[in-house]
Structure 1
């Protein structure tokens, strides 16, 4: 069966429209003449094999998708996303979301090829009280991962990945967006956390998106805002899940009496739990351990920025290494994902060229990346 040129052109046009780019911009970036690109998009001209590869690389999707007659595509999910929230995503943010989806699909492929696909966490709520659903699901996930009701997960990101969710942190220009969840047609459950947020807020946002993966996957795509409007019970449930997963009620009940805490002690406990004072104040009030007035006071406190720890920025890094890794995290390149890519190279699953694509880098940059992560560019 030959390529359906009309369908191929429609796919190209859809991607371009979602990224809010003109034919001239795509032509300038890809080196394909504008008139030729317009004819391909109109379904009047069949692209060469090289042009298909160039366009697939530019729009960051599998080239097989363009040349097949398959209709299902990630842009159908992002179309739903932008239809409801398009005004909140700048042109650069749309490109960031596209790269995020590419990383999710690549990660899913590598996990499958290496035989490391995680076990998807499944939870069936009972009753109609949605906050209780969040609390019960948090407890169930903790049990599934071997935590007691008094243990605090230190690396929330790792726990969410263990639950079968592709989680990436990526900087977005709109600081009011905390994160988003998308059910990718190939990769499955995917969550993005805005790296522009405070480090501890990112942990809460990641757990919040995990709740959407548990309860709201059938919604296809959703956006979480730092300053939400309205009283969406799904957001209330997700917040309750995040709070109970990161700050288990049983753990909070065993703390030295929070009613006696000074501001300094409240900040100390927030830092130990790696949460914002805002989240801690709300959780203590929900557990009926402090008054509403004291909750508001704690919520206004701040953990000093230089005291906060990021589990994906290990201690012992030099200043230059830390800055470099932080930049890579902003692009979505977590230690987990980067390690997976180098493992795939070592096992012969991907080539050096494919590695550079997966790491959003040029081949010239691979040597420095390998050195930064203590890895090798030699395949077995």
Structure 2
């Protein structure tokens, strides 16, 4: 079937508009002249195969999507997202979101090719008590993950991925945004957590987005803010899920009396739970274990940054390795995703060029990346 040039041009134009890029900016980035780009977008001329590949790489999209005549695409979700929250996303953040969706799609492809199956998890709420929905879903999910009532979840990202949610930590310039949830047309449930946040706040944000994946996947994309405005019951439900999943009430009821806690006690238990003192103070109040004054006192404490634990930045890394890996995490390259990429390469599912593309780097940078993750490239 011949390529429908009008459909192709429309797809390219929509991607460029969503990234708020001019024809000149795309020309500078791709080396394709602006006048020719304009003609391609108008459907007035057919791009070469190389031009399609270059533009697909620029927009972080599978080139097959551009040459297929179907319309369905991730930008239909982001179009809705930007229509409602466009002012919140800078040009850089829009590019970050597009890169995030590319990572989700690639991860989905790699998992299928490697034969990795996700566990089914579903939850059907009853009644209209939204906070109750969050509590019940957290309990059900904890049971599905094999946790006892008093057991604390550690690698929450791996748990969310195990049920088919593509979760990536990715730095956004707007620190007011904690995360977002998008239902990708091919990858499915996708959650972005703002890596600009405190490491423990990221955990809470990830759990919050997991709640949206459980309850709100049919409601379109959503943006979660560090401070919510007004009383949005979907956000209240997501916060309650996150709180009960990370700080199970049964665990809290077996702690030493919080009313007598010193600052060191509050920091200790917050660190044990991998949450902020702020989140812990709120959870203790919700569990009716402290009064408002004690809750406020605990919420005012801070876990020292150097005491916090990030599962993807272990203490075994030296200073140079830690800085490099943190920079990679800022772009969404989780240990889980990087391992999938190298596993697929090792099994000849993807080429070295596709490996570099998937890892958002040049071929020249691959060797360094392989060493950092203890991997080998063919012939090295």
Is TM (by shorter chain) over 0.5?
A: yes
Deviation at 1:293, TM superposition (A): 1.0
Distance in 2 separating the partners of 1:240 and 1:378: 48
- Within a 5 Å distance, the mapping from 1:23-102 to structure 2 comes to 23-102=23-102
Moved over 2 A (4+): none
Gap runs ≥5 in structure 1:
none
Distance in 2 separating the partners of 1:69 and 1:214: 32
1:255 aligns to what?
255
1:330 aligns to what?
330
TM-score norm. by structure 2 comes to 0.99
2:240 aligns to what?
240
Task: Confirm whether residue 267 of structure 1 aligns to residue 258 of structure 2.
Answer: no
Deviation at 1:182, TM superposition (A): 0.2
Distance in 1 separating the partners of 2:116 and 2:207: 22
Deviation at 1:117, TM superposition (A): 3.0
CA contact (8 A) 1:120 1:165 kept: no
Q: Helix, strand or coil for the counterpart of 1:82?
A: helix
Gap runs ≥5 in structure 2:
none
Q: Helix, strand or coil for the counterpart of 2:218?
A: helix
CA contact (8 A) 1:118 1:164 kept: yes
2:226 aligns to what?
226
1:135 aligns to what?
135
CA contact (8 A) 1:247 1:283 kept: yes
- Within a 5 Å distance, the mapping from 1:1-380 to structure 2 comes to 1-378=1-378
**1:50-72 CA distances to partner (integer Å, 9 max, x unpaired)?**
10000001001010100011110
Distance in 2 separating the partners of 1:117 and 1:368: 30
Distance in 1 separating the partners of 2:256 and 2:163: 32
Distance in 2 separating the partners of 1:377 and 1:185: 33
CA contact (8 A) 1:61 1:102 kept: yes
Deviation at 1:315, TM superposition (A): 2.2
Q: Helix, strand or coil for the counterpart of 1:218?
A: coil
Deviation at 1:119, TM superposition (A): 2.1
Deviation at 1:198, TM superposition (A): 0.4
Distance in 2 separating the partners of 1:117 and 1:64: 25
Q: Helix, strand or coil for the counterpart of 1:208?
A: helix
Distance in 2 separating the partners of 1:164 and 1:243: 21
Distance in 1 separating the partners of 2:142 and 2:293: 31
Deviation at 1:378, TM superposition (A): 2.2
